[in-house]
Amino acid sequence: MPEILTTNFKSDTTRLFIDSLASDEYYLFVSSISIFDPDNTQFSKNEFLEKTLFGKKILDDDIYFMIKYYPWQKGLVYTEYDDRVDLTGVNFYAVVGPNDNDTGDYRLYKCLRNNNGAAVSNPPNHNASQPDQIYETADGYVWKYIYVISDLEFEAYNALGYIPITGTFDSNPPATTGGEISDVVVDNPLDNFGYIVEDGGLVGNPFTSGVMIVDPSTSWSAIANYYVGQYIYTTNPTNGISRLFEIEYYEFNISTGNAEIRVGQEFLTGAANPVAAGVLSNASFSIFPKIKISGDGTGAYGIPNIVDNRIDSITMLTRGSNYRNAVVEVVDPAYDFNPEDTTTTDVRVIARARISPDGGHGYNLIDEFKCRHFLLYAYITAEDNTQIGYTNTYGAVGIVRSPEFAAASPIVFDNRIAIVTDDIDRVTVNTVVIQLDANNETVFSGVVHEVDLTNNTFYIAEYMGPYQNNAGTGNGDTSLDLNLLLRNETGQTIQINSPVNTNVTVSEYIQRTGEVYFMENFLPLERTDLSREEFKFVLEY
Looking at the fold, whether 236 and 270 belong to one and the same domain comes out as yes
pLDDT at 205: 63
- Distances in Å between the Cα of 398 and the Cα atoms of 48, 226, 464, 516, 537 are 8, 75, 18, 7, 9
What φ, ψ does residue 31 adopt, rounded to 5°?
Answer: -140, 155
| 91 and 63 within one domain | no
Q: Is the pLDDT of residue 173 over 80?
A: yes
Structural domain total, the chain: 4
Buried b (16+ CB within 10 A) or exposed e, 515-533: ebebbebeebeebeeebeb
Q: Cα angle vertex 113, ends 112, 119, to 5°?
A: 125
- Residue 139, domain member (yes or no): yes
pLDDT of res. 494: 97
* Three-class secondary structure of residue 245 per DSSP: strand
Kindly report the CATH number assigned to the domain that includes residue 13.
2.60.340.10
HSE-CB of 33 using CA atoms within 13 angstroms: 19
Residues 284 and 199 both lie in one domain = yes
Q: Please tell me the least confidently modeled range out of 9-13, 137-141, 148-152.
A: 9-13
Q: Mean pLDDT in the chain? A: 92
pLDDT (average), residues 45-52: 95
Residues 245, 249: Cα–Cα separation, whole Å: 12
Of 175-184, 190-199, 250-259, the one with minimum mean pLDDT is 250-259
Are residues 228 and 87 part of one domain?
Answer: no
Calpha distance 473→347 (Å, rounded): 89
Residue 410 is given by DSSP the state P
Residue 369 included in any domain? no
- Per-residue pLDDT, averaged over 170-195, amounts to 92
Higher pLDDT, 254 or 514: 514
pLDDT of residue 476: 67
Q: Quote the pLDDT of residue 169.
A: 83
C-alpha to C-alpha distance for 480 and 488, rounded to whole angstroms: 15
The pLDDT of 98-102, averaged and rounded, is: 89
Residue 135 is predicted with a pLDDT of 95
* 264 and 299 fall within a common domain: yes
Phi, psi of 513, rounded to the nearest 5 degrees: -90, 155
Residues 112 and 122 sit within 8 Å (Cβ to Cβ): no
- Given a cut of 90, whether residue 469 has pLDDT beyond it is no
The region of weakest confidence among 3-12, 88-97, 133-142, 437-446 is 3-12
51 shares its domain with 77? no
C-alpha closest to that of 479 among 468, 487, 488, 492: 468
Query: How far, in Å, CA of 270 to CA of 249, rounded?
Result: 19
Mean pLDDT of 423-443: 95
Q: Is residue 176 part of a domain?
A: no
How many percent of the chain have pLDDT more than 90? 76
Tally: H helices and E strands in the chain: 5, 32
What CATH number is attached to the domain comprising 260? 2.40.10.170
Residues 192 and 320 in one domain: yes
Provide the domain limits for residue 491. 416-506
- pLDDT attached to residue 175: 86
Span 402-410, mean pLDDT?
93
Q: pLDDT tens for residues 207-219?
A: 777 788 888 777 8
pLDDT confidence bin for 541, thresholds 50/70/90: confident
- Which pLDDT score is estimated for 80? 97
State the amino acid at position 343 in one-letter form.
T
Note the pLDDT of residue 257: 82
Shared-domain flag, residues 529 and 499: no
pLDDT value at position 472?
64
* Burial grade of 161 (CB within 10 A; 0-12, 13-18, 19 or more): exposed
Q: What local confidence, expressed as pLDDT, does residue 20 receive? A: 72
With contact defined as beta carbons under 8 Å apart, do 477 and 510 qualify?
yes
User: Which of the residue ranges 15-29, 124-138, 247-261 has the most confident prediction, judged by mean pLDDT?
Assistant: 124-138
Average pLDDT over residues 392-404: 95
Closest Cα to residue 377, out of 44, 170, 45, 153?
Answer: 153
Q: Is residue 169 part of a domain?
A: no
Residue 32 maps to a domain: yes
Residues 342 and 204 in one domain: yes
Indicate whether 532 belongs to any domain: yes
511: nearest Cα among 53, 56, 58: 53
CA distance 284 to 89: 46
Residue range 275-287: mean pLDDT, rounded: 91
Confidence (pLDDT) at 474: 67
For residue 131, report the phi and psi dihedrals to the nearest 5 degrees: -60, 135
Taking residues 276-300, report their average pLDDT: 94
Please determine, for residue 165, whether its predicted confidence score (pLDDT) is greater than 90. yes
Residues in the chain: 541
pLDDT band for position 172 (cuts 50, 70, 90): confident
Of the candidates 64, 61, 153, 65, the residue with the CA atom closest to the CA atom of residue 104? 153
Beta bridge partners of 355: 181
Q: What pLDDT is stored for residue 115 in this prediction?
A: 94
Q: Nearest CA to 234 among 282, 188, 193, 271? A: 282
Mean pLDDT value across residues 355-376: 93
Is 98 a residue whose pLDDT tops 80? yes
| Residue 250 sits in the same domain as residue 324 | yes
CA–chain centroid gap for 129, Å, is 23
Write the pLDDT tens digit of every residue in 524-537: 999 998 888 999 99
Would 179 be classed as within a structural domain?
A: no
The radius of gyration computed from the CA coordinates of the chain, to the nearest angstrom, equals 36
Task: Kindly indicate the confidence band of residue 394, based on its pLDDT and cuts at 50, 70 and 90.
Answer: very high
Q: Which residues contact 110 (CB under 8 A, 6 or more apart)?
A: 81, 92, 93, 143, 144, 146, 361, 362
Order of strands across the sheet that contains 493-494: 493-494, 486-487, 432-436, 442-452, 457-461, 417-420, 504-505
Q: Which amino acid is at 83?
A: D
Mean pLDDT, range 8-34, rounded to an integer: 82
- Distance of alpha carbon 408 from alpha carbon 539, whole angstroms: 28
Stretch 33-52: mean pLDDT = 93
2 pLDDT more than 70: no
Q: Long-range contacts: 43-51, Cβ < 8 Å, 24+? A: 44/519, 45/516, 45/519, 46/512, 48/396, 48/398, 48/516, 48/519, 49/400, 49/464, 49/511, 49/512, 49/513, 49/514, 49/516, 50/462, 50/464, 50/465, 50/511, 50/512, 51/396, 51/461, 51/462, 51/464
Q: What would the mean pLDDT of 26-47 be, rounded to a whole number?
A: 93
| pTM summary value | 0.85
Low-confidence winner among 201-215, 483-497, 507-521 (lowest mean pLDDT): 201-215
Residue 12 confidence (pLDDT): 76
Q: What is the mean predicted confidence (pLDDT) over 421-429?
A: 97
Pair 489, 537 in one domain: no
Whether 168 maps to a domain, the answer reads: no
One domain for residues 257 and 316? yes
pLDDT recorded at residue 4: 64
Q: Which of 157, 178, 197 is the last residue of a domain?
A: 157
